[in-house]
Amino acid sequence: MLSLKRVKWIGAVLSIALLLSACSETNQGNSSNSSSAEDKPVTITVAMPNDQYQSLSELNERFQDQYPNIKIQFDAVPTDQYETLVNTKLASGDGPDLFNVNSGTKLDPLINSNNIMALNDESWVSRLSPSGLEAASRNGNVYALPGFQAIIGVVYNKQIFKELGLSIPQHWDEFLEVAQKIKDSGKIPLALGLRDAFVTQFIPYAMAPSAIYRDHANFDNEMYEGKQTFVGSPWEQMLADYLGLEEKGFFNDDVMGTGLDSMFQMMASGDAAMSVIVSPMIGAIRGMNPEIELGVFPLPYVKEGETIYVSTGTSNVFAVNANTKHPEAAKQYLDFLSQPDNMMVLIEGSLSAFVDVPSQADPAIMETEDAMKKGTYTMLDTIWPNTVQPTLFTAVQKVFTGQSIEAALKEMDDAFKRGIQ
């Protein structure tokens, strides 16, 4: 029989043992040499936010069939925890071999902390479209495998346009006329929901290529050199026109309290005729109403006769951890994904970033193909220092609630200066 004293001792020892085993973490699978990685069985860790590139699980199966000696440990992380999780792992030296990254300047923190490696010599680099190359590169080096290309455009309800006898507007005054006709018919011209802060950026990003970059491609470089600021630039007119749409009553009521979901619902139910959104979101609207007839046209923020430039951006799929113990296997994985058959599955329903991978995007998005050939500019957050985009969100919200445009642009200028320090 156990005496009380013995029980106490056993209990104490067990609890300490339990604690210690929970604390320790064994790192397995790192014993193989990278020199003969193709022969020895290897496991590579891959991390992706769970709301993107959802066909990866299927592609991973295909990859493992093709390369039986490489096993993939795939981690589809909940989106809002993704960045924190990966950053923590990288900071502690335990980062995944491959992980999803953003484009443009958002790669800088990872490059500066030596967490991702350059992939310039990979065979798929030469097959990238200009937009894909731009998204994946920084300072002349390629750092990631690009995936799908998105555009910001005006999605519109074709049935409403037909009923009201409307045609696609080719310049800003026509756009305002179309909006007025829709308003007069009792429908909402443009669905907008600024409660979800990231929605604030869509219209400015859609305006900027035509308003600034078509004629002044060097604008951003000049900003970095301190020769240009948001204050005193076409941004003043852009924000005034953005607010002007609200003042003319072209948006739904209570824009500040409406969320992204409500925007989609207004489009899906036919209460709203148009909305400025990013192309992957069309799927969500169709999901709410499979019968709906949708089209997309670029926001015609131009004077009559001028060329419209489209806002576009390519998302990256994966970058390779600079400290990976299996660089060969990781690069083989990227090469596999870049093959046309696989890339088509990966970007299903979107525009491709590779010249030899045909785009099989939603037919509504394909309507903008011609416009995109005339001219595009990347989505602005990929070239700004990372302090500016969040400041744009609050700046637009403040302008819509009465603050002056000049003050809002000054905040963005201050954020820009802070970001380049």
Partner 1 sequence: MKKYIVPAFFLLPALLVFTTFIIFPVIGSFYYSFTNWDGLSATPQFIGIKNFENLLHDETVWKSLGVTFQIAIILMLGQNVLGLALALGLQGSSWVQKVLRVWYMIPLMLSYVAISYIWNYMYDPRNGIINFLLRSVGLSNLTQDWLGNTDLAVYSVIFSIIWQSFALCMLIYVAGLQAIPKDLYEAANIDGAGKGRMFVNITFPLVAPAFTINMVVTMIFGLKIFDQIFIMTNGGPGGVTENLAMLLYRQAFTFRQMGYGSAIAIVMFLIILVVSLLQVIILRKREVEH
Q: Per CB under 8 A, does 387 bind partner 1? A: yes
Q: What is the C-alpha to C-alpha distance for residues 203 and 239, in angstroms, rounded to an integer?
A: 9
Give the rounded distance of the alpha carbon of 360 from its chain centre: 19
Which residues 367-386 are close enough to bind partner 1 by CB under 8 A? 386
Closest CA to 371 of 277, 306, 293, 294: 306
Phi/psi for 396 (5° steps) reads -65, -45
Looking at the Cβ atoms of 71 and 89, the one nearer to partner 1 is: 89
Q: Per CB under 8 A, does 194 bind partner 1? A: yes
Site string for partner 1, 65-94 (x = CB under 8 A): ------------------xx--x--xx-x-
Asked whether the beta carbons of 48 and 99 are under 8 A apart, the reply is yes
Identify the DSSP state of 128.
Answer: B
The residue ranges of DSSP E strands in 324-386, in sequence order, are 351-352, 376-378
Q: Per CB under 8 A, does 19 bind partner 1? A: yes
Looking at the Cβ atoms of 305 and 402, the one nearer to partner 1 is: 402
Shortest separation between residue 84's beta carbon and partner 1, angstroms? 7
Shortest separation between residue 89's beta carbon and partner 1, angstroms? 11
Stretch that binds partner 1, among 157-165, 208-216, 249-257, 336-344 (CB under 8 A): 249-257
Looking at the Cβ atoms of 229 and 386, the one nearer to partner 1 is: 386
Q: Per CB under 8 A, does 6 bind partner 1? A: no
What length does the chain have?
421
The residue ranges of DSSP E strands in 179-309, in sequence order, are 188-190, 272-278, 294-297
Query: How crowded is residue 62: how many other Cβ atoms within 10 Å of its Cβ?
Result: 14
Looking at the Cβ atoms of 60 and 265, the one nearer to partner 1 is: 265
Q: Per CB under 8 A, does 240 bind partner 1? A: no
Q: Per CB under 8 A, does 398 bind partner 1? A: yes
Q: Per CB under 8 A, does 109 bind partner 1? A: yes
Q: What is the C-alpha to C-alpha distance for residues 206 and 298, in angstroms, rounded to an integer?
A: 8
Q: Per CB under 8 A, does 400 bind partner 1? A: yes
Stretch that binds partner 1, among 7-15, 65-73, 283-291, 330-338 (CB under 8 A): 7-15
Interface with partner 1: number of residues (CB under 8 A): 43
Q: Per CB under 8 A, does 10 bind partner 1? A: no
Q: What is the C-alpha to C-alpha distance for residues 49 and 362, in angstroms, rounded to an integer?
A: 23
Q: What is the C-alpha to C-alpha distance for residues 276 and 40, in angstroms, rounded to an integer?
A: 51
Phi/psi for 128 (5° steps) reads -80, 145
Asked whether the beta carbons of 183 and 330 are under 8 A apart, the reply is no
Looking at the Cβ atoms of 115 and 312, the one nearer to partner 1 is: 115
- Identify the residue whose tokens are 């026109």: 241
- Identify the residue whose tokens are 């193909």: 369
Residues at the site binding partner 1, with contacts judged by CB under 8 A: 8, 11-12, 15-16, 18-19, 23, 83-84, 87, 90-91, 93, 109-110, 112-113, 115, 194-195, 197, 252-259, 262, 265-266, 386-387, 390, 394, 397-398, 400-403
